[in-house]
Amino acid sequence: MNMRGDLARDLAGIVGERHVRVDDGALAAHARDATPLFEATPQAVVYPGSTAEVAEILRYATANRVPVVPRGGGSNLCAAAVPLRGGIVMVLTRLNRILEISREELLARVQPGVTTATLAAAAAEQGLLYAPDPGSHTVSTIGGNIATCAGGLRGLKYGVTRNYVLGLEAVLPTGEIIRTGGRLWKDVAGYDLTRLLTGSEGTLAVITEATVALLPKPKESGTGVAYFASLADASRAVTAVIAAGIVPATLEFLDHKCIAAVEEFAKLGLRLDAGALLLFGDDGEADAIARNLDRIGAICTEIGALEVTLAEDVARADALLAARRCSLPALSRLGPLTVLEDVTVPRHRLAEMVDRIDEIADRYELRIATFGHAGDGNLHPTCVLDPHDHAAIERCHKAFAEIFSAAIALDGTITGEHGVGAAKLPYLEERLGTDQVALLGRIKRAFDPAGILNPGKLGS
């Protein structure tokens, strides 16, 4: 029997025939995630229905030296879910139950396949907030969010996924089931494996359950928009806002290319003649919000905003935030190949970084649109390309290599929230240095002696 047949039979023995796919179509459909230009075909796709099944699959994979790549919603943007070395793609979306939401303890216990938006909605029903809200929240899963330490639009005030993970159940590549952390806000017993697994990109263990912290849902929220002549001006406004001691829930910006693309999809009446749009928002008590938004508006005007307006109602504010979330896919209207990056710099260096990106884009004759979480110094320069123009794609890779170096030179990083995956692995050493990369390798081997879990990525 051939290898694929063996795999199909063996995996079916664990999860049942219905939950294994080895047909060419299914393999093709799992050859990529949301990252362009990266594809590799697995030999099997498996959908486990329990932690025990996950453990049995991993034991089998270690015994037989078959790579396993965990996958949630497949919305990853750094090719972390691409099965570079073939093997098994393990899709965790069948594990999609919310096990518990506790108002007394302000936490939720969920399986990894629950989508971020589903958890947020369930929490909201109880008057609670699950704060991390990545742009892909309707499709991304909590397991995937934790594995990549997803950020989102509320990072400035509320932090990112790692700030909300209290405990994990995870299966080691060798099949042992571990429980890290728990229901406690204070717990220093041992190395902080919860944090280590958060952002480990499926290279150390497979997350099968998570306990996450919730917050009381803010009573009110408010949103405003300021237009600037340039992204650099908007960046200066962001720095000034923080320097004034205001930490709003939302500080997002888009350059004029993004405004045009988003407007075409969402039709919100955005101003198309401006160089940049800054979306600011806060939540909490109504009077505090009003005060903060007024002060932010005044600072923007001082910096030279062309126009400042506050959203008149919640529906308008939601529409603005939703529009911001879809910046990336909307940009693909300009050109079907969008290569998106994720550099992050200290907030007060945003304007410098933005200028550097523009200069690099000009020099390489590329169309790079930039949007991002300005309040976090987190930029998403996005290169819009024709997929058939190989010379431009080559220039794009060179330009991004320079953008990464520029970010590091400004005390920044190569990725703020999307992860390293396969896409940024070549640049990791420049960021971390040789010794740290070597340590990553030793940590990886301690968890995964056979090297079966998401090989070719972090720690490999």
Partner 1 sequence: MIDRSASDARPDAASGTGRPAPASAGIFDPGLLDRCISCGFCLPVCPTYRLTGQETSSPRGRITLMRALESGRLADGDPTLAEEASFCLGCRACETVCPAGVRYGELLEQWRDHQWRGRRRPLLARLLMAVVSRPALLGLQRLVRRYATGKAGRRAVPGGADRPASLMLGCVERGLYPEVSRAVLELRPELAVPGGQGCCGALHAHNGDSAAGRELARKLGERLDGTIVTTAGGCAAHLAHHLGRDRVAELSEYLERTGYRPAGEVRVNGRRARVALQDSCHLRNALGVTRPPRELIAAVADYVELPNAGDCCGAAGTYSLLRPADSRAVLRPKLEAIEAADVDYVVALNPGCLRQLRQGLRRARSRAKAIHLAELLVMAARAANRSTPR
Q: Does residue 66 belong to the site contacting partner 1 (CB under 8 A)? A: yes
**Between 308 and 423, whose beta carbon lies closer to partner 1?**
423
Measured distance CA(393)–CA(387) in Å, rounded: 8
H or E stretch at 444: helix 434-447
Q: Which of residues 175-234 bind partner 1 (CB under 8 A)?
A: none
Q: Which of residues 384-413 bind partner 1 (CB under 8 A)?
A: 387-388, 390, 393-394, 397
Number of residues located near partner 1, criterion CB under 8 A: 68
442 three-class SS:
helix
Q: Does residue 37 belong to the site contacting partner 1 (CB under 8 A)? A: yes
Do 331 and 367 contact (CB within 8 A), yes or no?
no
Q: Does residue 24 belong to the site contacting partner 1 (CB under 8 A)? A: yes
Of the CA atoms within 13 Å of residue 145, those in its CB half-sphere come to 36
For partner 1, the binding residue among 11, 40, 54, 207 (CB under 8 A) is 40
Name the segment binding partner 1 (CB under 8 A); options: 39-47, 155-163, 190-198, 300-308: 39-47
H or E stretch at 441: helix 434-447
- Residue 186, C-beta contacts closer than 8 angstroms, at least 6 positions apart: none
**Between 336 and 346, whose beta carbon lies closer to partner 1?**
336
CA pseudo-torsion sign 383, 385, 388, 393: negative
Q: Which two tokens stand for residue 69?
A: 């790549």
In the complex, what is the shortest distance from the CB of residue 83 to partner 1, in angstroms, rounded to a whole number? 8
**Between 45 and 308, whose beta carbon lies closer to partner 1?**
45
**Between 75 and 250, whose beta carbon lies closer to partner 1?**
75
For partner 1, the binding residue among 70, 222, 372, 456 (CB under 8 A) is 456
Do 129 and 152 contact (CB within 8 A), yes or no?
no
| 118-to-96, 111, 127, 392 alpha-carbon distances in Å | 10, 12, 14, 39
Do 375 and 347 contact (CB within 8 A), yes or no?
yes
In the complex, what is the shortest distance from the CB of residue 360 to partner 1, in angstroms, rounded to a whole number? 18
Q: Does residue 418 belong to the site contacting partner 1 (CB under 8 A)? A: no
In the complex, what is the shortest distance from the CB of residue 310 to partner 1, in angstroms, rounded to a whole number? 25
Q: Does residue 378 belong to the site contacting partner 1 (CB under 8 A)? A: no
Of 127, 201, 203, 208, which Cα lies nearest the Cα of 168?
A: 208
| Residues counted in the chain | 460
Q: Does residue 115 belong to the site contacting partner 1 (CB under 8 A)? A: yes
Measured distance CA(335)–CA(343) in Å, rounded: 22
**Between 236 and 424, whose beta carbon lies closer to partner 1?**
424
Name the segment binding partner 1 (CB under 8 A); options: 28-36, 202-210, 291-299, 346-354: 28-36
Give 218's DSSP letter.
P
Q: Which residues bind partner 1 (CB under 8 A)?
A: 2-4, 6-7, 21, 23-26, 28-34, 36-41, 43, 45, 47, 64-67, 73-75, 79, 82, 84-87, 91, 93-94, 96, 115, 117, 136, 138-139, 265, 326, 328-330, 332-333, 336-338, 387-388, 390, 393-394, 397, 422-423, 426, 456
